Amino acid sequence: MGELNINRYMTADEYEIDILQDSPPKDEYVQRILDKMISEYAITETPINVDFRKLVYWLKAGDQLTHQIHPYPAKLLPHIINFFLKAHTNLKNKIVLDPFCGSGTVALESSMQGFLPLVADANPFALLIAKVKTTPYSIDKLIKIKEKVLLKAKRYNKATSVDVVNSHLWYLPEHKTKLEIILRAINEIDEIDEKDFFKVCFSSLAKKISFADPAISVPVRLKTKEKFSEVTNQRIQKRLDWIQNLNVIREFESNVDANIERIRQTNAQFPKRISALKVGIDARDIFKDYNLTTKMPDNSVPLIITSPPYGSAQKYIRSTSLSLNWLGFAPPQGLRSLEEKSIGREHLISEPLCLDRGNLPENYKCLIEKIAQTNKTRARITQKYLIEMEQVSQELSRILAPKGRIVFVLGNNQVCGETLRNDEFMTYCFKKYGLQLKLLLIDDIKSRGLMTKRNRTASIISRETVLVFEK
């Protein structure tokens, strides 16, 4: 594809579509927008620059619902998902798969649009959030359980100690004890689904009252520094003082109430939404059942929308390490093994670099060789990522239904000064397994959650590529 040659911006008005700017358009109108984009791309083969926040005008900044039920790094823009779902509501089999589901942004948007959301992710905590934010809980039931949990939390004096990585860095001893007491009360909830809701609320609390800097996705101790401005240090000190003096149980109640209100609002607007169904813990191996015993049949999924980790990924396991420890998904010593199961990992078991491994295209072998001249470890990590992403493309191509589509949202980045063209590589992979590239869109990233430097050998990703493939 060569260097990106941005064509121009597309808007709904440009397609002469008669839609009211203060209400959502009819689904067939959105389908017409997508069809015209595909037609233009077929003629020009030039990437189309789209501002999804303007194109999908009917999603306002405040329309967050349960999207904000728990913080999570690098969330996919809901506008992109909403657009492609509306353009595919005529599917006979309304199923959407997100094999890299993260905290369930695709799952929630799909659920609200009447699709069955299928999800997979290597991070068990991500799967928990995806389940909770798509479940239409009974508000009355949540309130009753909340009162029971609060009563127990106020009555209990002790609880089993929870092993949290470097807990002395993140918590005051008295706050950690209170958290353990709240967790004890939550674990005594009999109803599994409701227990999961309160676990997510608890995790949000454990993150909120820790000494971890809330502006950084991975845990980094918040503290004042001489190099910071006086205003910044005053802001930091104000938060540190707040942590010192807060009431843990009161903050937990506040978190629960806020999330119950999010559920209430989502129920009111989308009462018939469907809870996400887990179908895998690895995007290279998708199943048809929650127990992961039966492989997903060939040619069975009509629509896949996902945003995979990039070549130098967010540190998803590390960023959720406190939650993974608190909720018993992984002890501190088990975090590395969990990371090693994740595509886009930042660490690899030591092994020599072999350029012939994985049968990659020659230009990517050359790229890895160039990276190795600067950093052999980063070269091995990049090679492993590309090999595994080809395996992902093979599995997704296998299960995609005839005429089905894959919407792949990803970014290009630099590794050791070398540009890693993830868009070109995934286009190569999907074409290799019989898919056609129908559309290439570019959207500049305006979310600070994505404007994160992954590591000192990686670049900041400032734009996203949306690739649409068809079988």
| Co-location of 175 and 88 in the same domain | no
Q: Which residues of 433-466 are buried (b: 16+ CB within 10 A; e: fewer)?
A: bebebbbbbbbebeeeebebebeebbbebeebbb
**Closest to 79 in 3D by CA, of 399, 439, 464:** 464
| Co-location of 153 and 49 in the same domain | no
| Co-location of 47 and 74 in the same domain | yes
| Domain contains 400 | yes
Q: Tell me if residue 287 falls in helix, strand or coil.
A: strand
In the chain, the number of structural domains is 2
| Co-location of 314 and 425 in the same domain | yes
| Domain contains 347 | yes
pLDDT, average across residues 164-172:
95
| Co-location of 33 and 131 in the same domain | yes
For residue range 215-256, what is the model confidence (pLDDT) as tens digits? 888 889 999 999 999 999 999 999 999 999 999 999 999 999
Q: Is the pLDDT of residue 313 over 80?
A: no
Other beta carbons within 10 Å of 112:
21
| Domain contains 44 | yes
Q: Record the pTM.
A: 0.90
Residue 119 near residue 101, CB atoms below 8 Å:
yes
Residue 342 tokens, joined? 């994740």
| Co-location of 331 and 307 in the same domain | yes
| Co-location of 431 and 459 in the same domain | yes
Q: Is the pLDDT of residue 19 over 60?
A: no
| Domain contains 237 | no
| Co-location of 153 and 190 in the same domain | yes
Q: Which helix (H) or strand (E) holds 430?
A: helix 422-432
- Across 41-180, the runs of DSSP E, i.e. the strands, are 48-50, 95-98, 116-120
Q: What is the residue range of 198's domain?
A: 139-209+246-269
Which residue is it, tokens 């109640």? 253
Cα(181)–Cα(346) distance, rounded to whole angstroms?
34
| Domain contains 238 | no
| Domain contains 232 | no
Q: Is the pLDDT of residue 357 over 90?
A: no
Distance from CA of residue 454 to its chain's centroid? 15
| Co-location of 173 and 251 in the same domain | yes
Cα(147)–Cα(153) distance, rounded to whole angstroms?
10
CA angle 286, 277, 61 (to 5 degrees): 110
Least confident of 177-186, 208-217, 398-407, 426-435: 208-217
Residue 127 near residue 121, CB atoms below 8 Å:
yes
Going by pLDDT thresholds of 50, 70 and 90, the confidence category of residue 16 is: very low
Q: Is the pLDDT of residue 293 over 80?
A: yes
| Higher-scoring residue by pLDDT: 263, 62 | 263
Q: Phi-psi category of 330—alpha, beta or left, where left has phi over 0 and alpha has psi -120 to 50?
A: beta
| Domain contains 391 | yes
Q: Is 414 exposed, middle or buried (0-12, 13-18, 19+ CB in 10 A)?
A: middle
| Co-location of 422 and 305 in the same domain | yes
| Domain contains 398 | yes
| Co-location of 107 and 144 in the same domain | no
| Co-location of 251 and 358 in the same domain | no
Kindly report the CATH number assigned to the domain that includes residue 107: 3.40.50.150
